[in-house]
Amino acid sequence: MMHHIGSWCTIADLNAPLKLLGMLGVLNVVQGCYEVKVKKASRPLSAIESHYVYVAIVTYDSKAIVINGERRILISGSIHYTRSTPEMWEDLVMKAKDGGLDVIDTYVFWNVHEPSPGNYNFEGRYDLVKFLKTVKKAGMYVHLRIGPYICAEWNFGGFPVWLKYVPGISFRTDNEPFKNAMKGFTEKIVNLMKSEKMFESQGGPIILSQIENEYGSNWGQVSHGSCANKMMPPDPIINTCNGFYCDEFSPNKPYKPTIWTEAWSGWFTEFGGPVYERPVQDLAFSVARFIQKGGSFFNYYMYHGGTNFGRSSGGPFITTSYDYDAPLDEYGLIRQPKYGHLKELHKVIKECELALVSSDPIITSLGSLQQAHVFSPKSQCAAFLSNYDPNNVAKVTFNNVHYTLPPWSISILPDCKNVAFNTAQIGVESTKMEMLWSDSNMFSWETYNEDLNIVDESSIITSMGLLEQINITRDTSDYLWYTTSVDVDSSESFLHGGELPKLLVQSRGHALHVFINGEYSGSSFGTRKHRKVMYKEKINLHGGINKIALLSVAMGLPNIGGHYETWETGVLGPVALYGFDKGKRDLSWVNWSYKVGLKGESMNLISSNPTSSVTWTQDSLITQKQQPLTWHKAYFNAPKGDSPLALDMNSMGKGQAWVNGQSIGRYWTTFASGNCQGCHYAGTYRPLTCQLGCGQPTQRWYHVPRSWLKPKNNLLVIFEELGGDPTKVSLVKRSITSN
Query: Has residue 613 got a pLDDT over 60?
Result: yes
Query: Has residue 187 got a pLDDT over 80?
Result: yes
Confidence at residue 619, expressed as pLDDT on a 0 to 100 scale: 66
Angle between helix axes 128-137 and 86-98 (nearest 10 degrees) is: 30
Query: Has residue 108 got a pLDDT over 50?
Result: yes
Q: Give 735-738 contacts, CB < 8 A, sequence gap 24+.
A: 735/433, 735/434, 735/435, 735/436, 735/643, 736/333, 736/334, 736/336, 736/431, 736/432, 736/433, 736/434, 737/431, 737/432, 737/434, 738/429, 738/430, 738/431, 738/432
Confidence at residue 53, expressed as pLDDT on a 0 to 100 scale: 38
Residues 6+ apart with CB under 8 A from 319: 268, 269, 270, 271, 308, 313, 698, 699
Of 602, 550, 600, the closest CA to residue 576 belongs to 550
Please report which confidence band the pLDDT of residue 33 belongs to, taking 50, 70 and 90 as the band edges: very low
Determine the average pLDDT of the residues in 626-647.
95
| 177, β-bridge pairs | none
Per the prediction, the chain carries an average pLDDT of: 89
Cα 29 to Cα 191: distance, rounded to the nearest angstrom: 15
Confidence at residue 688, expressed as pLDDT on a 0 to 100 scale: 94
Query: Has residue 125 got a pLDDT over 90?
Result: yes
CA quadruple 661, 665, 669, 670: dihedral sign:
positive
Q: Contact 114/87 with Cβ under 8 angstroms?
A: no
3-state secondary structure of 630: strand
Of 297, 293, 237, 292, the closest CA to residue 262 belongs to 297
Query: Has residue 254 got a pLDDT over 50?
Result: yes
DSSP annotation string for 246-310: -TT---SSTTS--EEEEEESS---BTTS-EE---HHHHHHHHHHHHHTT--EEEEEEEE--B--T
Of 131, 143, 409, 97, the closest CA to residue 298 belongs to 143
Residues 6+ apart with CB under 8 A from 257: 60, 61, 62, 63, 64, 65, 238, 251, 296, 297
Query: Has residue 41 got a pLDDT over 80?
Result: no
Radius of gyration, CA atoms only, the chain: 28
Determine the average pLDDT of the residues in 152-180.
97
Query: At residue 163, what is the residue type?
Result: L
Determine the average pLDDT of the residues in 170-186.
96
Confidence at residue 55, expressed as pLDDT on a 0 to 100 scale: 59
CB count in 10 Å sphere of residue 350: 15
Peptide bond into 726 cis (omega under 30): no
Cα 281 to Cα 341: distance, rounded to the nearest angstrom: 8
Cα 547 to Cα 249: distance, rounded to the nearest angstrom: 59
Query: Has residue 491 got a pLDDT over 60?
Result: yes
351 has catalytic annotation: no
DSSP state, residue 151: -
| Residues 170, 154, 147, 165, Cα dihedral to 10° | 30
320-372 pLDDT, tens digit each: 999 999 999 999 999 999 999 999 999 999 999 999 999 999 999 999 999 99
Phi and psi at residue 589, in whole multiples of 5°? Answer: -120, 25
Confidence at residue 739, expressed as pLDDT on a 0 to 100 scale: 72
Please report which confidence band the pLDDT of residue 451 belongs to, taking 50, 70 and 90 as the band edges: confident
Please report which confidence band the pLDDT of residue 620 belongs to, taking 50, 70 and 90 as the band edges: low
Query: Has residue 25 got a pLDDT over 60?
Result: no
Please report which confidence band the pLDDT of residue 623 belongs to, taking 50, 70 and 90 as the band edges: low
| 223, β-bridge pairs | none
Query: Has residue 680 got a pLDDT over 90?
Result: yes
Query: Has residue 162 got a pLDDT over 70?
Result: yes
Confidence at residue 622, expressed as pLDDT on a 0 to 100 scale: 64
Q: Contact 468/568 with Cβ under 8 angstroms?
A: yes
Query: Has residue 149 got a pLDDT over 70?
Result: yes
Confidence at residue 146, expressed as pLDDT on a 0 to 100 scale: 96
Indicate which residue of 35, 200, 262, 450 is catalytic: 262
Task: Name the strand (E) or helix (H) holding 490.
Answer: none
429 has catalytic annotation: no
Write the Ramachandran bin of 183: left for phi over 0, alpha for psi from -120 to 50, otherwise beta: alpha
Peptide bond into 644 cis (omega under 30): no
Confidence at residue 386, expressed as pLDDT on a 0 to 100 scale: 98
379-402 pLDDT, tens digit each: 889 999 999 999 999 999 999 999
The HSE-up count of residue 367 (CA atoms within 13 Å, CB side) is 18
Query: At residue 108, what is the residue type?
Result: V
Please report which confidence band the pLDDT of residue 6 belongs to, taking 50, 70 and 90 as the band edges: very low
How big is the chain, counted in residues? Answer: 739
Confidence at residue 621, expressed as pLDDT on a 0 to 100 scale: 63
Of 155, 164, 156, 159, the closest CA to residue 146 belongs to 159
Residues 6+ apart with CB under 8 A from 77: 96, 99, 101, 103, 104, 105, 299, 300, 302, 303, 304, 327
Confidence at residue 217, expressed as pLDDT on a 0 to 100 scale: 56
Confidence at residue 21, expressed as pLDDT on a 0 to 100 scale: 25
Indicate which residue of 114, 212, 214, 270 is catalytic: 214
Confidence at residue 405, expressed as pLDDT on a 0 to 100 scale: 98
Please report which confidence band the pLDDT of residue 9 belongs to, taking 50, 70 and 90 as the band edges: very low
Query: Has residue 458 got a pLDDT over 90?
Result: no
Determine the average pLDDT of the residues in 568-593.
96
| 410, β-bridge pairs | 386
CA quadruple 19, 24, 30, 33: dihedral sign:
negative
DSSP annotation string for 558-573: B-SSTTGGG---S--S
532-569 pLDDT, tens digit each: 999 999 999 999 999 999 999 999 999 999 899 999 99
Of 299, 300, 304, 342, the closest CA to residue 322 belongs to 304
Query: 2-11, 208-217, 297-306, 631-640 — which is least confidently predicted?
Result: 2-11
Percentages (nearest 5) of helix, strand, coil residues in the chain: 20, 35, 45
Please report which confidence band the pLDDT of residue 19 belongs to, taking 50, 70 and 90 as the band edges: very low
Confidence at residue 378, expressed as pLDDT on a 0 to 100 scale: 84
DSSP state, residue 410: E
Determine the average pLDDT of the residues in 61-86.
97
Query: Has residue 32 got a pLDDT over 60?
Result: no
Query: Has residue 455 got a pLDDT over 70?
Result: no
Confidence at residue 240, expressed as pLDDT on a 0 to 100 scale: 92
Please report which confidence band the pLDDT of residue 596 belongs to, taking 50, 70 and 90 as the band edges: very high
Q: Angle at CA 191, nearest 5°, toward 187 and 307?
A: 80
Query: 33-37, 40-44, 120-124, 660-664 — which is least confidently predicted?
Result: 33-37
200-238 pLDDT, tens digit each: 999 999 999 999 888 865 544 333 333 333 346 778 789
Cα 190 to Cα 197: distance, rounded to the nearest angstrom: 10
Confidence at residue 612, expressed as pLDDT on a 0 to 100 scale: 73
CB count in 10 Å sphere of residue 165: 13
Determine the average pLDDT of the residues in 679-704.
97
Of 502, 447, 385, 366, the closest CA to residue 633 belongs to 447
501-541 pLDDT, tens digit each: 999 999 998 999 999 999 999 999 999 999 899 999 999 99
Determine the average pLDDT of the residues in 612-616.
83
Determine the average pLDDT of the residues in 491-508.
96
Alpha helix stretches (DSSP H) within 323-392: 338-351, 353-358
